[in-house]
Each structure stands twice: as structure tokens, then as C-alpha cells.
Chain A
């Protein structure tokens, strides 16, 4: 029953192959097999969104995807969005606007926000709040997270305009 399967994942542009039991959750494959420990585990009922990654173009809670289902998928985690030397515009704005305190929800929050801005580059405050409603934060009270995301959206839009 515990037959391992051969799993292929492309994470942050890099191909990985490993053996895993089908029941292994994607979050644990990322954290424990691939040492990509930005995505976190904050619950066991699929509510908190701390494990959010982008899988095949969708924001997903990686605690609610079996590695067997993810076999063959392309995954982006917080580690794939920016680096300490070259922060993603969302990372820069979370820092600037104090959109984090303990930092535990932040990788999921920013990964979700990146997808939200891709789909809706010019969201209202209400759309931002609704768009991150699958991500719980215990520290910030959300206000500064919303500011960070709206500010990142403005910067992205300004950069787009400048490029035209």
C-alpha cells in the first residue's frame, strides 16, 4: 500500500524528480523533499492559506493537493518570485508598508497577491480584500497587507505605462 511513485515537478523553473508516496501532500514535498520552506503549514482544514503556491497558473493551497495529483505540474513558490538582492515588487511593498510581522502567512499571502494582480492589475480595496480572503493573518489586521498590495499594483501599472 505504501508503494512510492516517481514524481516530477517543475518548481520555480527548476525540474525535480523524486520518489514519494501518493498520499504525500504537496506542501510536504516542497518543504521536506525539496527544502523549499517558504510555504508554511498553519492549519489542517484548508482555511489559512499559509501553504499557498501557484500550480499550473492557479493559486492553490498546497496542503490540499496530493503530490500524486501534482505530478507533472509547474509550481511557483515565494522563493521563485524574488531574491533578497532583487525583491519582487510585492515583497518590496510588504516591507515598505509593514505588511508583515511574524512573517508566517507572508509567503502564501504574497504568492496569492501576485496571482491576484496578474488577473486583476487594477483592483479596488474591496477586490483586494476579497481576493486574499483565503489567506489568514494573525498579526497585521490586514490593513497594511491591503496597502502593500495596492501600492504594488500602482507601481506595476506605472512601470507598464512607462514601458509603452
Chain B
């Protein structure tokens, strides 16, 4: 419950943030909503001698849609996502997923940037971002760069972000067609036993495009290209869904924990993906 002591900073521009990260190296961390970092600090699983709060930086919590591209600032909260009419219209899967993350209080504080940068495979947004083929925008001492969500995750808590970089925004093309985020969990606020993000578009009664990503079924989110390929060109009925599930099961690698043994998680993964595909197709 009692975190170790730290020095606190609330810079007002990104240059100030980067300077602090450069000065203190891996002794410094940025804090966004604080709802993964503070719990870890309270358990002393994270020690952060220099805590750099991003709340003083303007312009990090805007949602914009322009030329078919959606941009969500890193400090946008889950609450903001749920209540953004713009986003509900342009990418309704974001609200559907955000409502399955944590609980009201955590959603007022927890941010999109923190969710995707955290690196915990339990987080829901990383798989969703892979499904949407999002880009993550990073700012560091050498300037700005962007990384595909599908290339960002290396292992549990290991991402492509360098210690001196800050994730500032996510962008993705406005998705087309039907969508679903289906999550199996033990109770409100729990990380998924298994979850699936699906986007499907339809043409002439067949699946025209599909994208599928799975949450908490490996040490990273899993974008399953093979599962999507199994759907494309089909009528999305039972046999096609079964083929997609079979392909997905080859891509995941769950581990046993108190959410269940591997066999159960693989079973649950198949169920949630089947449901997500069916719901996405019904909306396509």
C-alpha cells in the first residue's frame, strides 16, 4: 500500500518531459492516469525515483477525425472515449471495448496511451489497436517516430518504446463494416480470460475484409492474420467461423494462471472469437 518515495515533476511541455527522462534514464517514468503504475508502486513492484506527470501538457487528450483518420491523444481517458460522439460515430468498437475495461472510477483516470504503452498482455486496448492496424506515435530526444501497433509488443512489459520516449497519440484509419469486442472475464474489472477484437466488412454477401486480434492469450496481444484470411471470401457461416477459430488457435500461446488452465483458455478463446465474428458480421 505504501509506495517508496520519489521526486515529482509536472512539466508543461513535452521538451520538459523528454529532458527529465534523459536526465534520469530508467530511474524516471511518466505517469498518465496512474491506474497501473500506482498499484505497482504500492506493491513495490515498481520503484520510480523520478515521477514525471503528463497532466500539465496541453493537447494530449484530444480526439480528432480528419480525412478518414482518427487520432486519439495519449492522455484521452477511457471515460472520454465512451462519451465522445465523434468516436462513437467513427469507430464504435472503441466504446464497446472501453466499457469492458475496469470500472467507472478507473475509466475516469486511465488513459488510452497508458493502456497501450503499459505492455501488460491483460490490457484490452493493445489487441484492439492491432485489430484496427493503429500506429503509435512516440516523441523522444531524436524527434518523432511512429510504430505499427502490430510491431510494438515484444513480450510482457517489453515494447518497442525506448526509456526516453513518450507515447503521445494513436492513429488509425476509420474502420469500415461491422465490429465487436467480446471479452470473457470473471467479474467487472478483471483482465480477460480471453477476448477478441473483430472488424469485418461485407460485399455481395461475402466477407470482403477482416481483422482479428486476441487479448491476454499470449505474452503480447495476438493479431491473427490467418484467422482473418480464413474468413475473407466466405459467407461467414458456421464452417467459416470454425476455420477462423482453428487458425487463431495456432497463433495464441496462453499460460495457466488463476483464470484457468491452458486447455480452458484455448476453449474460451474459441468461444469469444466465434461470438465476436458473429456479432461483427451481423453489424457489417
Residue numbers of A with Cβ under 8 A of B are 1-3, 5, 21-23, 25, 41, 44-47, 49, 52, 58-61, 63-66, 68-69, 71, 112, 116, 131-134
Smallest CB-CB separation from B43: which chain A residue?
A: A44
Pairs across A and B, CB under 8 Å, 12 listed: A5-B8, A41-B1, A44-B42, A49-B105, A58-B105, A60-B105, A64-B35, A65-B38, A71-B10, A134-B102, A134-B104, A134-B105
Q: What residues of chain B lie closer than 8 Å to A1, measured between beta carbons? A: 5-7, 49
Smallest CB-CB separation from A27: which chain B residue?
A: B1
Smallest CB-CB separation from B2: which chain A residue?
A: A23
Given the known interface contacts A1-B7, A22-B8, the answer about A65 and B104 at a Cβ–Cβ threshold of 8 Å is no
Cβ-defined contact, A68 with B53, below 8 A = yes
Give Cα A21 to B7, complex, Å.
Answer: 9
Residue from A2, A21, A46, A133 within 8 A of B39 (CB atoms): A46
Given the known interface contacts A134-B102, A134-B103, the answer about A64 and B38 at a Cβ–Cβ threshold of 8 Å is yes
Q: What residues of chain B lie closer than 8 Å to A132, measured between beta carbons? A: 104
Cβ-defined contact, A3 with B7, below 8 A = yes
Closest 3 CB pairs of A and B: A134-B103, A22-B8, A58-B108
Residue from B2, B34, B53 within 8 A of A64 (CB atoms): B34
Cβ-defined contact, B53 with A69, below 8 A = yes
Residue from B5, B41, B102, B108 within 8 A of A60 (CB atoms): B108
Given the known interface contacts A1-B49, A60-B105, A60-B108, the answer about A69 and B42 at a Cβ–Cβ threshold of 8 Å is no
Q: What residues of chain A lie closer than 8 Å to B105, measured between beta carbons? A: 49, 52, 58-61, 112, 134
Q: Which of B185-240 contact A (CB under 8 A)?
A: 188-189
Smallest CB-CB separation from B1: which chain A residue?
A: A44
Q: What residues of chain A lie closer than 8 Å to B41, measured between beta carbons? A: 23
Q: What residues of chain B lie closer than 8 Å to A3, measured between beta carbons? A: 7
Give Cα A44 to B6, complex, Å.
Answer: 19
One digit per residue, 1 when the CB lies within 8 angstroms of any chain A CB and 0 when it does not, for chain B 1-35 equals 11111111010000000000000000000010011
Residue numbers of B with Cβ under 8 A of A are 1-8, 10, 31, 34-35, 38-39, 41-43, 49, 51, 53, 55, 79, 102-106, 108-109, 188-189
Give Cα A47 to B102, complex, Å.
Answer: 9
B39 to chain A, nearest CB (A): 5
Give Cα A131 to B103, complex, Å.
Answer: 8
A155 to chain B, nearest CB (A): 22
Residue from A23, A64, A133 within 8 A of B5 (CB atoms): A23
Smallest CB-CB separation from B188: which chain A residue?
A: A133
Q: What residues of chain B lie closer than 8 Å to A131, measured between beta carbons? A: 104
Cβ-defined contact, A22 with B31, below 8 A = no
A147 to chain B, nearest CB (A): 20
Cβ-defined contact, A68 with B189, below 8 A = no
Give Cα A65 to B53, complex, Å.
Answer: 12
A109 to chain B, nearest CB (A): 12
Residue among B34, B53, B102, B103 with max Cβ neighbours from chain A (10 Å)? B103
Given the known interface contacts A66-B8, A133-B189, the answer about A49 and B108 at a Cβ–Cβ threshold of 8 Å is no
A13 to chain B, nearest CB (A): 21
Q: What residues of chain A lie closer than 8 Å to B104, measured between beta carbons? A: 59, 112, 116, 131-134
Smallest CB-CB separation from A131: which chain B residue?
A: B104
Give Cα A22 to B3, complex, Å.
Answer: 10
Cβ-defined contact, A65 with B34, below 8 A = yes
